[in-house]
Structure 1
Amino acid sequence: MVRAIELLSRHPGERLSLARIVRATGMSRATAHAVLTQLTADGWTVRDGDGNYSLGLGLLTVARRADTAFPLRRLALDTLHGLAADQRVPVFLAEREHDAIVITEVIGTPSVPWIRPARRMPVAPPVCREFVAWAPESERAAWLAAADPLHRPRLTAVLDAIAARGYSVERLADESAPMLEALAALRHSPVTDPLRQRLSAMIADLITIDYLPDELTDRNAVVSIAAPVFAADGTVVASIVTCPDTNLSAARLRDLADATVAAATTVTATQRA
């Protein structure tokens, strides 16, 4: 049922055939038919005269009730819209859920395809740095221990820089991502130790994690800037992320970062009120 609802939610303006739902979810035709029959009976999905399915109003009722259990998105919404409009860049909110973060709101249309509502990512190196920079030393150490040994010195310096300035910067160029994924897959396949070391070195060469203070120039490739939202006990429960995905001067990067931090500070204060 969850797989079916998630699939339909990713295509809100479409009516999907049973065959397409079967292919996309991996369910058998009989299972998919039984699931969708029950969902339709409960009003969570609607079946048209051609046998295609879409989301039903019954799900909207449940979603509205569930929304009250997670107030941060609602509290942050005006701030997110204001930040996106003032800075003229897409913005999203990522909330922490145990050992993962979930994108709960997106304003605008980010050029990076993985940025979409309900996208979940593990809090694992080298990403989610703004969730770790202010964490207790034991949590930071565990996060660093999960990183590639070649990246640990860089990540340690980056976490300290993020805690000092108040935000993280994602600088991995989109065109490097496919090559990075291919190299990572090869590194974990049955290869000789020398080849594995060479692959690790190539991955390290492709990844430049964040910016340290002395590395900014007049042309800085910035995918996103993320600032933390804190709970009353000082833990990072969310981040507000601006997504310029372009080259910025050092001055423009700092201006956008200041605006992102200010928005996150506003949301922090709002949720504590």
Structure 2
Amino acid sequence: MTPTIGPKRHAGQEPVSEIGSAAPASPPTHRVVQVIGLLSRHVGDHLSLARIVRETDLSRATAHAVLTQLTADHWTVRDADGNYGLGLGLLTVARRAESAFPLRRLALTPIREFSARQGIPVFLAEREDGAIVITEVAGTPTLPWIRPGRRLPLAPPVVREFLAWAPESDRETWLGHADPAHRDRLVAVLAAVRNRGYSVERLADDSAPMLEALAALRDSPVTDPLRNRLGAMIADLITIDYLPDELGPANAVVTVAAPIFLGSTVTAAVVACPDTLLSAEELTALGTATREMGDALTAALRQDTTTPLTTVQPG
């Protein structure tokens, strides 16, 4: 589940963006979201009005009006120095809202424990409105895109663990958005993911700049022959997942992702992030443990109780 290249679906995955970055349908509401979003990224700090204006691009008058109302409603607080932070009113709303997202409540402690056992970062990714959103992160990822709130489009060749168990019509639609050079491979990979229970992202992080440059060239005004050659170079650089006969003594593994089901639909994934070389045995062991973690979270979500999941010890 690694962001790969450029702004076009057919070149890989679209750019990763923060939640709420699309053009706002209601600018006044968006301004409130901007301010709360900024303060939420600086929990424990109080920010000056000048800094809030600078980082949100709001006018001083607008930012002051938004903060005055938020403070009156106890969603923010203003200290003696005139700086702003999150208020207890917002905490109350957030805690009430948690009941609408049982998986996050059920998964937070288990993924932290799983991360500690494996000695690598782990994150939870959930499906929402045709995209995948990172909702919880345990450990300290080496890849900067792994952080809560990051949104990944449900587009090939990534997020395969969300499509491998989907109805055939959904898989065909997803495959229809893939680069033609990747489609046969993706069909084989989806079958392998279903068989073993997890996907593997093998793209080395240092390949991304080259892929982005090639994608930008391909999508610029160039002749068709050159565009086709650039597309072929991109296909050569991207190797999607590992098929069973492709594992060697050392295998580059960025992430290993296993599905979490709600009914028959993959609603989320638990994603381990080794970002290193693993032997075939190490990769299989990590994949098995990640799949078992996904199975445990699926069972907990099905039960949807408040019983702590720490008694479930996958692997």
Please confirm whether the aligned pair reaches a TM-score higher than 0.5, indicating the same fold: yes
Partner residue, 1:52: 83
Q: CA RMSD in A?
A: 1.6
In the alignment, the residues of structure 2 paired with residue 268 and residue 83 of structure 1 have an alpha-carbon distance, to the nearest angstrom, of 15
Match status 1:187 vs 2:218: yes
1:126 Cα deviation (Å)? 1.3
Q: Which amino acid aligns with 2:281?
A: A
1:159 Cα deviation (Å)? 0.9
Partner residue, 1:265: 295
Partner residue, 1:247: 277
Q: Aligned ranges for residues 165-180 of structure 1 at < 5 Å?
A: 165-180=196-211
In the alignment, the residues of structure 1 paired with residue 86 and residue 234 of structure 2 have an alpha-carbon distance, to the nearest angstrom, of 42
2:261 aligned residue (220, 230, 255): 230
- C-alpha distance 220-272 of structure 1, shift in aligned 2 (>3 A): same
Moved more, 179-188 or 106-115: 179-188
Partner residue, 2:72: 41
2:133 aligned residue (102, 105, 108): 102
In the alignment, the residues of structure 2 paired with residue 240 and residue 76 of structure 1 have an alpha-carbon distance, to the nearest angstrom, of 9
Match status 1:85 vs 2:85: no
Aligned sequence identity (%): 70
In the alignment, the residues of structure 1 paired with residue 260 and residue 287 of structure 2 have an alpha-carbon distance, to the nearest angstrom, of 14
Q: Which amino acid aligns with 1:243?
A: C
Match status 1:62 vs 2:93: yes
In the alignment, the residues of structure 2 paired with residue 189 and residue 29 of structure 1 have an alpha-carbon distance, to the nearest angstrom, of 39
1:63 Cα deviation (Å)? 0.8
- C-alpha distance 48-130 of structure 1, shift in aligned 2 (>3 A): same
1:244 Cα deviation (Å)? 0.8
The answer (yes or no) to whether the contact 1:79–1:266 under 8 Å persists in 2 is no
1:52-77 Cα offsets, whole Å, 9 max, x none, are 32222221111111111110111122
- C-alpha distance 53-198 of structure 1, shift in aligned 2 (>3 A): farther
Moved more, 171-180 or 135-144: 171-180
1:127 Cα deviation (Å)? 1.3
In the alignment, the residues of structure 1 paired with residue 225 and residue 45 of structure 2 have an alpha-carbon distance, to the nearest angstrom, of 50
- C-alpha distance 22-206 of structure 1, shift in aligned 2 (>3 A): farther
Partner residue, 2:174: 143
SS of corresponding position for 2:296:
helix
1:19 Cα deviation (Å)? 3.4
Moved more, 45-54 or 218-227: 45-54
1:125-147 Cα offsets, whole Å, 9 max, x none, are 11111000000111111111111
The answer (yes or no) to whether the contact 1:226–1:241 under 8 Å persists in 2 is yes
In the alignment, the residues of structure 2 paired with residue 7 and residue 24 of structure 1 have an alpha-carbon distance, to the nearest angstrom, of 8
Q: Which residues of structure 1 form unaligned runs of 5+?
A: none
In the alignment, the residues of structure 1 paired with residue 238 and residue 83 of structure 2 have an alpha-carbon distance, to the nearest angstrom, of 44
Moved more, 47-56 or 212-221: 47-56
Return the TM-score normalized by structure 2.
0.82
In the alignment, the residues of structure 1 paired with residue 224 and residue 51 of structure 2 have an alpha-carbon distance, to the nearest angstrom, of 44
- C-alpha distance 46-239 of structure 1, shift in aligned 2 (>3 A): same
SS of corresponding position for 1:68:
helix
1:193 Cα deviation (Å)? 1.3
1:189-242 Cα offsets, whole Å, 9 max, x none, are 22221221222122222221111111111111111100001112x110110111
- C-alpha distance 32-188 of structure 1, shift in aligned 2 (>3 A): farther
Return the TM-score normalized by structure 1.
0.94
1:67-124 Cα offsets, whole Å, 9 max, x none, are 1111011112232123112211111111111301111111111111111112111111
Match status 1:164 vs 2:195: yes
Match status 1:22 vs 2:53: yes
SS of corresponding position for 2:100:
coil
Partner residue, 1:3: 34
In the alignment, the residues of structure 2 paired with residue 85 and residue 242 of structure 1 have an alpha-carbon distance, to the nearest angstrom, of 11
- C-alpha distance 48-191 of structure 1, shift in aligned 2 (>3 A): farther
- C-alpha distance 123-50 of structure 1, shift in aligned 2 (>3 A): same
In the alignment, the residues of structure 1 paired with residue 54 and residue 213 of structure 2 have an alpha-carbon distance, to the nearest angstrom, of 25
